[in-house]
């Protein structure tokens, strides 16, 4: 393990103002990435410019840790003479050929399993405790005393920590799920965002948005090509990809441009979009209109939050967007001021009223008479007051008047107070004497003493609404016929879509009129006589050449680049341009084709010393996936293989629930099994009409686990 050896005392003396600002790096005008440079070059320049240099020797030379220090902005809350917090970003350079994990599971499930294995992987990590992987200490395996990783000899018992013990410790750090940030980028510019943990995940300084903003800017700065993320995040104990898709139309990562990458169970982008629209636009009237049946708690909650919103809450998107906005506004320790809620209530000016003024005044007068008849200072609940005047007007008119009743004045000068009961969350009313300033100009007035539910109460209500209205396993029964099945299917599809990808398109920042260089994309083609297991299809690599470069220079540079990026191509030698055969090697490149053109280059690559096993990120195992849902490759969901033909399929598609263990012996339909019968009995279809969620604790092909 290579760690930084710079004196800690010297680091402490450094002024934090020298560090780049985490909240704005790279700052505008501070120097963008090298024009025309790919990720493999930019990462080296970034480390040379900003990282603390590691020492030349190491116990584990295939894991080099660089430290990049940032200051976390200039907080206005900090004392005048104090320094802002320092954020340490570890960049672990991993030599993949000597790594424990040669193949990339994330590439396999996102659709990049055909990429050859890269020579390097770069891990970008921010530890939750603020320390560095390189500068961290480890307890001695013998006496338990602290051993600094740079000096593996224990000063207490003289035990020398072995290379295996050090390697175990380092890989445990790489696999730690508590990191505030962990992203990994392969040498070819494709990478994965493995985790982000904001304040709810243990961060004391940085929010999740701060971390994502930094990661997004860093990826642009380094010229990465594509980044994937598996969204399994939870918020307030709920699946956030479902909540955010309903309220915003995309996952939380979509705020930074991450889009549908690949869906489990052969789901497509169109299916994802259709599911978002179906569930978001589900009318709340389906849950409210229950005839003469007694009102349920779910109806009370819907009516209550409708009473708090000036916007008409018509569908699921409206309801959950409003409730989540209240969570963001309300502080844990205190109730939100009326002004904040007033802003929420005034978001839809110009909403037309369906009743005449005389109808409204008649119902309001009846409600006020009921409240005046109540003795003492008792509060009257929403349900009780509505029931007392149920014959005065239509249910819709009653709900409208109850919503606007707070702050109304009686003929005697009394004022109608409204509050949210702190225990039940129900809206309550009573009349009191006193003068209150009327707020707003929309005709809706509220007393300044109006109380609203606490953050904890709103979260409790939101979880109840989520479980009964959104989650496919607990969604309540509602009409009309068939709409629940449609909603359950949509919710299941949203939960089954976890892979999202951002294409940074670094080529769009390149100028074909670069005055100092020629930029060429090279696509490698190996000889046709190679067997299928030795055929590779790497993505094109950007080659930067001087203006007077010749075809010979292009071949030399292309050979060097592909040798540097991919392990299997260590011996690659470019021999000819496929579409320009017969062109002399002395011909200048700029005379033959323009900049930013993609050129196919054929060459030879002797496969020695077992380099063939680095052919693709999927590994050397060969498998066949033929599932009833349409899947033909590993998607990260639990699968099992037929004991007869060896073909893989999803356990869910075979009729095995996620909560069930797989059978000791399994035969598919073609081999005489009864999986189709199981599917019919359970009533599942894992593509467009699934009613179960994925990932139920089983194993996928990417996990290298045969569950037969």
Average pLDDT over residues 246-251: 94
How confident is the model at residue 402, as a pLDDT? 84
Task: Give the DSSP letter of residue 604.
Answer: E
Say which residue the tokens 């440079």 belong to: 37
Handedness of CA 509, 512, 514, 519 (dihedral sign): positive
Share of the chain above pLDDT 90, in %: 36
Q: Which residues of 204-218 are buried (b: 16+ CB within 10 A; e: fewer)?
A: ebbebebbbbbbbbb
Tokens of 278: 């179906």
How confident is the model at residue 149, as a pLDDT? 62
Average pLDDT over residues 75-99: 78
CA dist 310 and 560 (Å) reads 65
- For residue 416, what pLDDT band results from cuts at 50, 70 and 90? confident
CA dist 638 and 697 (Å) reads 8
Render pLDDT for 95-140 as a digit per residue (tens, 0 to 9): 999 998 899 999 999 999 889 999 999 999 999 988 777 655 666 7
Q: State the CATH architecture for 510-613.
A: Roll (3.10)
pLDDT at 238 over 80: yes
Looking at mean pLDDT, say which of 18-32, 75-89, 471-485 comes out highest.
471-485
Answer whether 418's CB lies under 8 Å from 450's CB.
yes
Kindly report which listed range (228-237, 411-420, 558-567, 649-658) carries the lowest average pLDDT score: 411-420
Give DSSP secondary structure letters for 389-434.
Answer: TTTTS-HHHHHHHHHH-TT-B-TTS-EEEEEE-TTT--EEEEEE--
Kindly report which listed range (331-345, 379-393, 635-649) carries the lowest average pLDDT score: 331-345
Tokens of 177: 């799920």
Share of the chain above pLDDT 70, in %: 79
Task: Give the DSSP letter of residue 316.
Answer: H
Could you give the C-alpha distances from 490 to 83, 273, 476, 484, 628, in angstroms and in order? 50, 10, 15, 10, 19
Show me where the domains of the chain are located.
8-132+177-225, 288-470, 510-613, 621-708
Chain length of the chain: 708
Bigger pLDDT: 272 vs 386: 272
Average pLDDT over residues 266-275: 93
Q: What is the distance, to the nearest Å, from the Cα of residue 79 to the centroid of all Cα atoms in its chain?
A: 35
- For residue 693, what pLDDT band results from cuts at 50, 70 and 90? very low
Tokens of 248: 């915003």
Tokens of 581: 């055969």
Render pLDDT for 310-339 as a digit per residue (tens, 0 to 9): 778 999 999 999 999 988 877 544 444 444
**Pairing mode, strands 427-432 and 190-196:** unpaired
Question: With respect to CATH, is domain 621-708 assigned 3.30.70.20?
Answer: no
pLDDT at 558 over 50: yes
Name the burial class of residue 438, with classes exposed (0-12), middle (13-18) and buried (19+) by CB atoms within 10 angstroms of its CB: middle
Closest CA to 403 of 445, 436, 434: 445
Tokens of 222: 């380094």
């Amino acid at each position: 393990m290579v760690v930084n050896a710079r004196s800690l005392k010297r680091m402490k003396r450094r002024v934090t103002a020298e560090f780049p600002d985490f909240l704005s790096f790279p700052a505008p005008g501070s120097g963008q990435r090298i024009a025309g440079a790919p990720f493999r070059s930019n990462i080296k320049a970034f480390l040379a410019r900003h990282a603390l240099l590691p020492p030349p020797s190491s116990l584990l030379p295939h894991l080099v840790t660089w430290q990049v220090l940032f200051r976390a902005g200039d907080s206005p809350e900090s004392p005048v003479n104090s320094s802002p917090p320092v954020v340490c970003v570890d960049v672990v350079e991993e030599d993949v050929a000597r790594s424990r994990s040669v193949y990339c599971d994330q590439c396999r499930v996102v659709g990049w399993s055909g990429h050859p294995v890269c020579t390097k992987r770069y891990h970008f990590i921010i530890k939750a405790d603020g320390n560095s992987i390189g500068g961290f200490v480890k307890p001695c395996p013998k006496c338990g005393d602290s051993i600094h990783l740079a000096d593996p000899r224990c000063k207490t018992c003289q035990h020398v920590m072995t290379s295996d013990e050090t390697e175990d410790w380092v890989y445990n750090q790489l696999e730690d799920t508590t990191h505030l940030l962990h992203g990994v980028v392969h040498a070819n510019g494709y990478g994965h965002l493995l985790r982000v943990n904001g304040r709810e995940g243990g961060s004391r300084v940085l929010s999740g948005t701060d971390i994502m903003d930094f990661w997004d800017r860093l990826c642009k700065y380094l010229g990465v090509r594509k980044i994937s993320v598996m969204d399994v995040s939870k918020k307030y104990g709920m699946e956030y990809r479902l909540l955010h898709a309903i309220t915003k139309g995309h996952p939380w990562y979509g705020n930074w441009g991450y889009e549908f990458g690949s869906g489990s169970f052969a789901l497509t982008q169109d299916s994802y979009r259709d599911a978002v629209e179906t569930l978001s636009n589900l009318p709340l009237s389906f849950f409210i209109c229950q005839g003469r049946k007694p009102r349920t708690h779910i109806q009370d909650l819907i009516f209550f939050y409708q009473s708090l919103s000036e916007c008409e809450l018509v569908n699921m998107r409206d309801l959950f967007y409003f409730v989540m906005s209240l969570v963001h506004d309300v502080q844990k320790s205190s109730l939100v001021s009326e002004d904040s809620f007033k802003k929420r209530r005034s978001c839809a000016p110009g909403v037309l009223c369906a009743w005449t003024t005389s109808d409204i005044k008649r119902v309001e007068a009846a409600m006020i008479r009921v409240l005046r008849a109540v003795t003492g200072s008792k509060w009257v609940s929403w349900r009780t007051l509505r029931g007392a005047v149920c014959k005065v007007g239509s249910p819709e008119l009653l709900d409208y008047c109850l919503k606007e009743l707070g702050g109304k004045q009686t003929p005697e000068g009394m004022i109608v107070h409204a509050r949210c009961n702190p225990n039940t969350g129900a809206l309550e009313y009573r009349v009191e004497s006193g003068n209150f300033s009327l707020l707003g100009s929309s005709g809706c007035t509220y007393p300044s003493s109006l109380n609203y539910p606490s953050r904890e109460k709103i979260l409790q209500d939101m979880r109840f609404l989520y479980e009964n209205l959104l989650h496919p396993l607990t969604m309540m029964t509602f009409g009309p016929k068939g709409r629940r099945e449609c909603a359950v299917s949509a919710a299941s599809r949203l939960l089954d879509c976890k892979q999202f990808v951002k294409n940074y398109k670094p080529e769009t920042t390149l100028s074909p009129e670069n005055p100092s260089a020629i930029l060429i994309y090279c696509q490698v083609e190996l000889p046709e006589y190679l067997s299928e297991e030795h055929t590779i299809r790497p993505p094109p690599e950007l080659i930067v050449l001087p203006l007077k470069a010749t075809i010979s220079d292009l071949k030399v540079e292309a050979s060097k680049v592909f040798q540097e990026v991919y392990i299997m191509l260590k011996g690659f030698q470019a021999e000819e341009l496929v579409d320009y055969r017969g062109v002399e090697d002395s011909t200048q490149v700029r005379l033959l084709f323009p900049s930013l053109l993609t050129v196919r280059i054929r060459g030879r690559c002797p496969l020695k010393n077992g380099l063939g096993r680095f052919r693709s990120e999927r590994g050397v195992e060969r498998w066949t996936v033929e599932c009833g849902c349409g899947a033909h490759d590993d998607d990260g969901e639990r699968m099992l293989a037929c004991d007869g033909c060896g073909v893989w399929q999803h356990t869910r598609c075979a009729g095995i629930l996620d909560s069930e263990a797989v059978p000791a012996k399994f035969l598919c339909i073609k081999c005489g099994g009864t999986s189709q019968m199981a599917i019919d009995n359970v009533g599942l279809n894992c593509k467009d009409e699934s009613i179960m969620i994925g990932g139920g604790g089983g194993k996928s092909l990417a996990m290298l686990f045969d569950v037969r």
